[in-house]
Amino acid sequence: MHVRTTRGLALVAVAAAAALALSGCAGSAAPKSGDGASVDFKTVKSAKDAGGLEALVAAAEKEGALNVIALPHDWANYGEIIAAFKAKYPKIKMNEITPDASSSEEIKAAEANKGTDQAPDVFDLGATVALASTDYFAPYKVATWADVPDTLKDADGLYVADIGGYVSVGYDSAKYPEPKSLDDLLKPEYKGAVALNGDPMKAGAAIAAVGWASVQSGGTLDDFTPGIDFFAKLNKAGNFVKVQATTATIVQGETPVVINWDYLNATATEKVPTWKTVILPGKGYAGYYFQAINVDAPHPAAARLWQEFLYTDEAQNMWLKGGARPSRGEAMAKAGTIDKALYEKLPAAPTDAVLPTKEQSKKAGETITEKWAAAVQ
């Protein structure tokens, strides 16, 4: 499935519609009823329900803590966002659980700590896991809910996209020429240089890279084999590095060319000034992360306040600063509240981008499981 797009989120979002529609109906898990007059924040579906944002703030401060999970500080500028939240609500102690957890580990942590004050309050999940885990989510709609394109959120408020981006190639321009096409990466000048952000069997960013290579080589998302074949060729040419690319390996110089989400590649520029991020011409590959509130959140009001905060203009612009495309971006651009300089600095979106459906993701997983290990050996 692919769609013509001009720029930004809204148009790719059309493609997301099918993916999200397939996620099944949004059954909210049994909420406990509040004790009489006081509001039970576990069931609050919007700030209005809570009696306004101030009431929500008061309740969250009374809870005094917020457990967030899997928010790496170098990921889409989360470090600054977390610091800003801490500064704005100093009475809420922020527990950062396992910042390098994968999306499935987030759900596991919720299960393993269910009913304790250690459970994560909010999730930040890749699409595959988000669509498969709706039983764990509590519905909630932030004040700026309407700004997020319908196709990037669950109609009942179980989950909503936070940021998105495209698969890109990051490279150290001081040492390597700019790749103009996928096949350029097979050239001898990239010997021992090209790395991925993890194993596609495990990491969302890596399987996206394989999907991207598939569509770039003329394939479709129904079959990731062309992408796997590309990496097999890359490996055979001696250009593929099997070490996992991290900011540290980029700074150290071990992974000078990395295929990754554009906003993750953009982060490295801060540490390596000559680091450049390009989205290759031809078909693009889009991906989104989603916010959701844990239905068993130990700090339900703080969880909801965090959501409200993330979808303020302030936080959305911070994501933008991290090179990511925030889900309210289009609306904010229209309203003129977006940081224009940053918005224009984003690499131009591909004119034609694809996003896998739930079925395509599943099939891609099977193909990768079967063929990846042999391809890169």
Span 116-135, contacts to other proteins by CB under 8 A: 116-120, 125-126, 128-129, 132
Residue 374 interacting with other proteins (CB under 8 A): yes
> Residue 348, interface with other proteins (CB under 8 A)?
no
Stretch that binds other proteins, among 4-12, 95-103, 276-284, 321-329 (CB under 8 A): 95-103
Here the tokens at position 110 are 């919720």
Q: DSSP alpha helices (H): ranges in 199-296? A: 204-216, 225-236, 247-252, 262-268
Q: Looking at beta carbons only, is 101 or 318 nearer to other proteins?
A: 101
Residues 6 or more apart whose CB falls under 8 angstroms from that of 196 comprise 203, 205, 206, 209, 244, 245, 258, 259, 260
Contact positions with other proteins (CB under 8 A) in 193-252: 196, 198-204, 206-207, 238, 240-244, 246-249, 251-252
Nearer to other proteins, 31 or 192 (CB): 192
269 binds other proteins, rule: CB under 8 A: no
CB of 109 to other proteins, least distance (A): 5
164 counts as binding other proteins under rule CB under 8 A: no
Q: Which of 54, 111, 135, 359 binds other proteins (CB under 8 A)?
A: 111
**Total number of residues binding other proteins (CB under 8 A)?**
76
* DSSP 8-state symbol, 68: E
Q: How far is the CB of 337 from other proteins (least distance, A)?
A: 28
Q: Is 174 in the site for other proteins (CB under 8 A)?
A: no
DSSP assignment of 106-168, as one string?
HHHHHHHTTTSTTS-SEEEEEHHHHHH-GGGEE--B-TTGGGS-GGGB-TTSS-EEEEEEEEE
Cβ nearer to other proteins, comparing 5 with 128: 128
Please tell me the distance from the alpha carbon of residue 375 to that of residue 280, in angstroms, as a whole number: 24
Q: Does 156 bind other proteins (CB under 8 A)?
A: no
* Phi, then psi, of 218 in degrees rounded to 5: 95, 5
- Computed on alpha carbons and rounded to an integer, the radius of gyration of the chain in Å comes to 21
In angstroms, how far is CA 236 from the centroid of its own chain?
Answer: 31
Question: Minimal distance in Å, beta carbon 146 to other proteins?
Answer: 29
d(CA 142, CA 147): 10
Report the residue from 103, 168, 225, 307 that binds other proteins according to the rule CB under 8 A: 103
| 368 binding other proteins? (CB under 8 A) | yes
- Binder of other proteins out of 12, 15, 60, 101 (CB under 8 A): 101
C-alpha 274, offset from chain centre = 25
- Looking at the Cβ atoms of 302 and 349, the one nearer to other proteins is 302
Tokens for 338?
């977006």
